[in-house]
């Protein structure tokens, strides 16, 4: 009995510490990171109370990292909105290594891997609830569930060629072996071009003076994206022109032997109609 009385305080201390460990673990799991907002949007849009109150907990961050994929600098530059709000996280464990993350309210994450900056984009519909702005193009009208008389799947995107109230659209028709891109203004088609690729996207959330970004994708035998081309397209004199192409190709690094995106910028001032992609990709 005497020995039991001696052990009793030790048992109490043990369970008390165990309870504290659970509480500490719970506090860590529910840790909340609050955004740091400075300045205003590049569009002169003012910060809102929602912007200033933006926050993520550790569970949110883990979900974001699982949903995000590596993107090229060009894709980030032309396709993702930049907000003046960032969430900074120190020593986050990602793929077995610790990094300092910066999560921007524009649906992307950046960090330095010791060699060069890396950017992850969160573009899936599930990502939208975690960020202030999404990559999703709100001007897109998805008509993929309807088919015309030629059994062609069609999507259209609202654009603004002349900064007027005319009905300006980019239409993408999916054919058997390629896509047809059409541009129309005031309900009249003024441009048509067939493009051979595995998938095609139109980004109208542009940050420069282009009318839209044409994004072409190519996949390998396993249907994984192996090449992306981003083409800023400009409107002038009732025609479409380009000045540069940004090409990202997935390949094997000669230094590390690991897969990485190799990027190339090609200057090509020409009309979109005359663009010869096969020639450029073969060079």
Q: According to the model, what pLDDT value does residue 220 have?
A: 78
pLDDT mean over 113-139: 80
Torsion of CA 95, 96, 102, 104, to 10 degrees: 20
Q: According to the model, what pLDDT value does residue 272 have?
A: 96
**Rounded Cα–Cα distance for residues 179 and 75 (Å):** 21
Q: According to the model, what pLDDT value does residue 150 have?
A: 43
**Rounded Cα–Cα distance for residues 21 and 151 (Å):** 62
pLDDT above 80 (res 124): yes
**Coil, helix or strand at residue 69:** strand
Q: According to the model, what pLDDT value does residue 148 have?
A: 39
pLDDT mean over 26-30: 54
pTM of the model: 0.53
**Rounded Cα–Cα distance for residues 144 and 148 (Å):** 10
pLDDT mean over 237-253: 89
pLDDT above 60 (res 8): no
pLDDT mean over 80-94: 89
**Rounded Cα–Cα distance for residues 74 and 244 (Å):** 11
Q: According to the model, what pLDDT value does residue 189 have?
A: 92
pLDDT above 60 (res 278): yes
Return the number of other C-beta atoms located less than 10 Å from residue 34's C-beta: 12
Q: According to the model, what pLDDT value does residue 143 have?
A: 36
**Rounded Cα–Cα distance for residues 131 and 117 (Å):** 21
**Rounded Cα–Cα distance for residues 66 and 90 (Å):** 18
């Amino acid at each position: 009995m005497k020995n039991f009385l001696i052990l009793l305080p030790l048992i109490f201390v043990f369970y008390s510490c165990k309870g504290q460990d659970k509480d500490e673990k719970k506090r860590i799991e529910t840790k909340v990171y609050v955004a740091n907002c400075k300045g205003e949007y590049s569009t002169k849009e003012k910060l809102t109370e929602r912007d200033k109150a933006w926050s993520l907990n550790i569970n949110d961050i883990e979900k974001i990292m699982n949903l995000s994929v590596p993107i090229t600098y060009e894709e980030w530059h032309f396709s993702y909105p930049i907000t003046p709000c960032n969430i900074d996280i120190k020593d986050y464990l990602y793929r077995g290594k610790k990094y300092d993350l910066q999560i921007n309210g524009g649906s992307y994450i950046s960090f330095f891997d010791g060699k060069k900056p890396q950017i992850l984009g969160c573009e899936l519909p599930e990502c939208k609830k975690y960020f202030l702005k999404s990559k999703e193009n709100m001007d897109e009208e998805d008509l993929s569930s309807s088919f015309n008389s030629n059994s062609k799947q069609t999507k259209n995107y609202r654009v603004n060629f002349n900064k007027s109230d005319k009905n300006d659209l980019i239409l993408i028709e999916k054919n058997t072996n390629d896509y047809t891109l059409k541009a129309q203004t005031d309900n009249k088609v003024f441009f048509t071009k067939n493009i051979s690729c595995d998938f095609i996207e139109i980004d109208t959330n542009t940050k420069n003076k282009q009318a839209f970004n044409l994004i072409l994708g190519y996949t390998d035998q396993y249907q994984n994206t192996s090449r992306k081309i981003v083409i800023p397209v400009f409107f002038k004199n009732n025609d479409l022109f380009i000045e540069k192409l940004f090409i990202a190709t997935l390949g094997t690094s000669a230094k590390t032997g690991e897969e990485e995106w190799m990027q190339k910028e090609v200057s090509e001032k020409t009309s979109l109609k005359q663009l010869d992609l096969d020639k450029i990709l073969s060079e």
